[in-house]
């Protein structure tokens, strides 16, 4: 497995990470714990060293899963987790239609201590603010994480779905190692200023949903149905009408994949990897064959001509449907 360094942080990880959320949360019922422990350990054997979780996934159960699975392999892996939601009640509880945020410094310290226990570790490698809290100045957030770093409880500071100015302000207080953002061929907003800012500041980008929450794999269409507990049932981009309209993007990936003896998912991931050497996608999966398929993308070389053809064709495709309901979209880009 090739390695990459997230910006100027010195944090070296596998070129592809593994998003662990879906093992416990959001994509239908939680998966069998022992099967997921086995898969996480197999991922390490396959060369994956970068694992992504959060306290809110479950809540708490995903961190516990990752902690138990990776404890025997702790010296071989980098674990990223996140703070920023109020989990004193059900994190899915809605206040005014959106999740309850809490990035007060005292809460950040509490979350760090709890996450360390659940992850069965004495240090968090990468600690992200999950969503920007408009009620807490980002300088206070960065300062709180800086103190955790100085105390040896956290190694690196990250932000998720933060706006450019927020990234700059946070980075001035405590260097940001990585920003996590949705980024893929069907969601390219990071190209509108964020990528340029990260390059300027020497910050890595960790794209989540690099396969469009499964859509870009070509394994679903307008007739696909989801379990009632699958959060894609709430997303405008996953209505039958939107999926039918967006089939052109999957068809594009399929054409390139046929030429490369690859799969649409591998082309989508290879496209991301080709954008910048400090980009590390974290596709999630609960199936070993999908993990192996995703890992195969690291060896897939797209030429300059390939990339130009993909961009040219993608530019002619208008992606239909918002990625989130309005209340969740309001939490991003702040």
Catalytic residue numbers, as ranges? 57
**Residue in the structure block whose two tokens are 């980008």:** 205
Sort strands 176-182 and 204-208 into parallel, antiparallel or unpaired.
parallel
**If you write DSSP's letter for every residue of 183-194 in order, what string do you get?**
-BTTB-GGGTTH
- Beta-bridge partner residues of 124: 154
Q: Is 204 helix (H, G, I), strand (E, B) or coil?
A: strand
Q: Give the separation between CA 278 and CA 190, rounded to whole angstroms.
A: 14
**Residue in the structure block whose two tokens are 């009408």:** 241
Cis amide leading into 260 (omega within 30): no
Per-residue three-class SS string for 12-24: EEECCCEECHHHC
CB atoms within 10 A of CB 241: 11
Q: Is 27 helix (H, G, I), strand (E, B) or coil?
A: strand
Q: Which of 55, 74, 60 is nearest to 129 (CA)?
A: 55
Q: Give the separation between CA 15 and CA 283, rounded to whole angstroms.
A: 11
């Amino acid at each position: 497995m090739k390695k990459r360094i997230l910006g100027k942080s010195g944090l070296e990880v596998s070129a592809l990470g593994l998003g662990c959320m879906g093992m416990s949360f959001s994509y239908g019922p939680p998966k069998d714990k022992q099967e997921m422990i086995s898969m996480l350990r197999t991922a390490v054997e396959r060369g994956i060293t970068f694992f992504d979780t959060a306290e809110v996934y479950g809540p708490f159960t995903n961190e516990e899963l990752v902690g138990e699975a990776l404890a025997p392999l702790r010296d071989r892996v980098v674990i990223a987790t996140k703070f920023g939601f109020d989990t004193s009640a059900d994190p899915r509880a809605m206040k005014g239609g959106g999740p309850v945020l809490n990035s007060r410094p005292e809460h950040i310290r509490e979350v760090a201590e709890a996450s360390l226990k659940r992850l069965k570790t004495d240090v968090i490698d990468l600690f992200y603010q999950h969503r920007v809290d408009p009620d807490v100045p980002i300088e206070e957030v960065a300062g709180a994480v800086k103190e955790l770093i100085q105390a040896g409880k956290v190694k690196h500071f990250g932000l998720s779905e933060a706006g450019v100015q927020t990234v700059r302000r946070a980075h001035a207080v405590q260097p940001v190692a990585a920003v996590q953002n949705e980024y893929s061929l069907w969601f390219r907003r990071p190209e509108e200023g964020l990528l340029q800012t990260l390059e300027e500041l020497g910050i890595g980008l960790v794209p989540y949903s690099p396969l469009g929450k499964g859509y870009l794999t070509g394994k679903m269409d307008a007739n696909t149905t989801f379990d009632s507990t699958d959060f894609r049932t709430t997303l405008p981009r996953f209505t039958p009408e939107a999926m039918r309209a967006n089939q052109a993007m999957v068809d594009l990936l399929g054409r390139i994949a046929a030429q490369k003896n690859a799969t649409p998912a591998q082309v989508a991931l290879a496209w991301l990897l080709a954008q910048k050497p400090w980009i590390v996608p974290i596709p999630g999966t609960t199936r070993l064959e999908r993990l192996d398929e995703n890992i195969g993308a690291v060896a897939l070389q797209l030429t300059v001509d390939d990339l130009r053809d993909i961009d040219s064709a993608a530019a002619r495709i208008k992606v239909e449907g918002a990625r989130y309901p309005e209340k969740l979209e309001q939490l991003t880009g702040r």
